[in-house]
Each structure stands twice: as C-alpha cells, then as structure tokens.
Amino acid sequence: MKKIVIICLAVAMTGCGIYKPYTRPEIQTDGLYGDAESADTMTLGNLRWQEVFTDPALQSLIEEGLANNTDLQSAQWRVKEAEATLKSARLAYLPSFNFAPQGSISSFDNQNTTKTYSIPVTASWQIDIFNGLTNAKRKAKALYAQSQQYEQAVKTQLIANIANLYYTLLMLDSQQEVTRETAMKWEQSVETMRALKDAGMTNEAGVAQYEGNYYAVVASLRDIETSIRQTENSLCSILGIAPQQIERGSLDAQQLPEQIVVGVPVQMLSNRPDVRSAEYALMQAYYATSQARSALYPSITLSGTAGWTNSAGAMIVNPGKLLLTAAGSLLQPIFNAGANRAQVKIMKAQQEEAKLSFQQTLLNAGAEVNNALTQYQNARAKTDLRINQIEAMARAVESTELLMQHGSTTYLEVLTAQQSLLSAQLSQIADRFDEIQGVVNLYQALGGGRDLTEEE
C-alpha cells in the first residue's frame, strides 16, 4: 500500500503539470470601439444607476422592478444552486462516513436459532493525487461565478428595459400633446375655411381637404393612446405588477449626464457581466478538460471499518467484539482508456468553442458601444437643426395662411406647410428620445448597473 502511494506521488510530480489553473487567453481589444476610444478610466458604466437616471418617478420604478421582477429572482435562485454545487465539490475532499448496521437470524434443520449482527461505521476517502477533485471544485467555482454574472446581466438588462420603456412613455406623451394642439388648430382652420367659403373666397374642395386632415390628426391620437397603453402594460409586466397607469414626469424635464465617456475597451473584460459570464464558461470548459484528463490516471481510495460484531468467522460470540479493518485500492483504466481519451477530445473541442464564444461576445459588446454612442451623437447633433426647421415651418404656415386670406396662394400650400410643421415637431420629439435612448443603451453596453460597493 505504501509503495503504491509512493509510486503515484512520483508520477504526479512528473505528470500533473498539465493541471495548471486557468489563464485568460490573449484577447485583442485595441480598436474595439472604433473612433470612440478614450484614455479615461472613469466611464459612464461606472456610475451608479441613481446618478444616471435622476427622475424620481423612474428611480421608484427601477427599485420596484429590482424587487419584483421574476427573471431577476430566477437568476438569484440560479446563484444559490451554483453555490450549493460549489459547496458539494469542496466537501468531496473529506472522507465519507456511513453507519451500516446488519443483522440476521438463521436456523438449520430445526436447530437452535442463530443470531448474528454487525454494527460498523464505514469510511472511504479518495486521495486527490491527479487533481480530479480539484478540477471539479474549480469548475464548480467558475459555475458559481458565472451564475453571479448572469444575475448581474439580468439586472443590467432590467434597468435598461425599465428606463427605455419609461422614456418611451414620455415620448408618446409629448407626441400626444403636440398632436392634440395641432388638432385644435386644425379644427379652428376648418371653421376659418368654412367662413372663407361663405364669403366666396374658397370652395368646398378646400373645406373638405381641411376636414379630412383634421380627422386624420384626431385619428392618430387614438393610435398614440393605444401605444401608451401597450407600453404601460409592458412596463407593468417587467415590474411584476398588474396593468395600471404609470406615474411619470415629462420628456423636457429629463436631465442625463453631459459627459459621455466610454473609456478603454479592456475595461469590457471587468465591467460587462455577459463578457465575464462568457469567460467563466470558458473557465468551466478548461477545468472540464482537465477533469477528463485526470480520468486517464489511477485513482486511489482508502477505506476502513470500525464497529462491533458477534460473527467471528465460524463462531458466534456474545457479547460482540470490536472489529477494525483497513484497505486501500488503486484503479487504473485499461480497456476503457480509449473511451476516456475520446472524452478528453470532446472536452477540448468544447473548450475551443467556449473560447470562440468568449471572443465573439467581446466583439458584440464593442459593436453595441459603438452603435449606442453613434445613436446618441447623431441625435444630439440634430438638435439645433430641428429647432431651425420648426421655426422655418412655423413661419411658412403663418405666411401661407396670410397669403391664402388675400387670395395669393391656394389651400394646398397651407396644408403642406401645416403637415410639414407637425412632422418636424414629432421628429424633434423622436430625436430627443433617440438621444436619451442612446445614453441608456450606452450605459448598458458599458456594463452599468453593477453593485459598485461590493466590487470595492
């Protein structure tokens, strides 16, 4: 037994170098953000969500969502499951003890009844010479860390979804307000056209055109109301509450961070929960490969028994005597070694797949940052242009209405100017929403919403 252990230890000293801890593969992050990279270490994603979303109503909704959302609760249970798996892997290092009492009653050819019993406690201990248990523990630890990152990814997604739906409601409210004001103006225009018709300054066709456009605007209000209700219902669903009206502020009152900094791409590896989760999946695959390799080497198990028995071979003694046994076993795969080697190849292939998935997740994350920043920058760049457009369209409406009253133009030019003004006003609201949504998406893309106090 002692010689077996010495031999296995010698083999371990020469062959167990293959069971090294996981190290991150070389990943190229330069240029991941395109032209958006900066040397700043403080990024938008490092801000607490309360600092980014300052609207009190929105903050209340996010807090409610974090408390009630079922997807987040499921992710939290996944963490508990992985934690129990890790605890089980750690306990595998310890010997196992079992209480296994046995007894029998026998009688041969109507002779006296013979009663035997054995009250042993059995123990078994697997010696982890070739890191089979260690790799299983490391794999379970990576699974636990991955489950934590999955929970964080769900949390980040939840915060972004609540914010986007909230700002969608504010956008729809603004569009509803502008459309309602336009409908009131067009209703007055219809009355004006009827007065002009009675005065012989226009015809029935002009009145009908104005009425048709007025009804179209009123009908669009119904569409906006439907969108508002659907958005409220979607928001209530992720908040984990029954459908109801959502209390909210206004789009014009929103204040978001002015300094939008994305930092350096290497921060993705520590900030983005989905990137970290993908790396932990790679880590699990790495240790699964090492665990499969350990099956190619011998396994040693020590076992023993301690207890009382009255069965001493051919004799029955009463009272029972103390029984002690000890044994050691070595298991070396022979005929199943080929199957074990095939399992190593399978695990190695899965490890390469996990590595590619990790790399692609990082690339996707970089693209999301670039897309969100582009959305924000372009929407912000259109702000002054849209203001100038609306001012020009307002002047066009005023001028064409005066000209029509003096018979210098037709009602069609007035209608075109009014429609262009409404379109520009709605576009201005959409631009503001795009700007805000760009900030929300960028915050999510940079891994915002993390619990920074725990990381510190």
Task: Please give the Cα distance from 122 to 6 (Å, whole number).
Answer: 25
CB atoms within 10 A of CB 298: 15
Look up residue 373 and give its two tokens: 């920043």
DSSP string, 195-255: HHHHTTSS-HHHHHHHHHHHHHHHHHHHHHHHHHHHHHHHHHHHHTS-S-PPP---STT--
Predicted confidence band of residue 17 (pLDDT cuts 50, 70, 90)? very low
- State how far the alpha carbon of 44 is from the alpha carbons of 63, 204, 326, 419, 436, in Å: 20, 59, 63, 39, 14
State the pLDDT at residue 11: 47
> CA-CA distance, 288 to 139, in Å (whole number)?
7
Q: Residue 42 carries which side chain, given as an amino acid letter?
A: M
pLDDT band at residue 19 using 50, 70 and 90 as cut-offs: low
Three-class SS state of 69: coil
pLDDT at residue 264 above 70?
yes
Select from 386, 262, 280, 319 the least CA-distant residue to 22: 280
161-197 burial code (b ≥16 CB/10 A, e <16)? bbbbbbbbbbbbbbbbebbeebbebbeebbebbbebe
- Dist CA 153 CA 72 (whole Å): 9
Structure tokens at 402: 């005066």
Residue 53 is predicted with a pLDDT of 93
Highest mean pLDDT among 147-156, 312-321, 397-406: 147-156
What radius of gyration, in Å, describes the C-alpha atoms of the chain? 37
Residue 207: partners with Cβ closer than 8 Å, 6 or more residues away: 190, 193, 194, 197
When pLDDT is averaged across residues 301-316 and rounded to a whole number, the result is 75
Condensed to tens digits (0 to 9), the pLDDT of residues 135-190 reads 888 888 989 998 999 999 999 999 999 999 999 999 999 999 999 998 998 888 88
Instruction: Phi first, then psi: give them for residue 408, nearest 5 degrees.
Output: -95, -5
In terms of phi and psi (left: phi > 0; alpha: psi -120 to 50; beta: otherwise), the region of 324 is beta
Q: Which domains does the chain have, with CATH numbers?
A: 2-104+113-455 (1.20.1600.10)
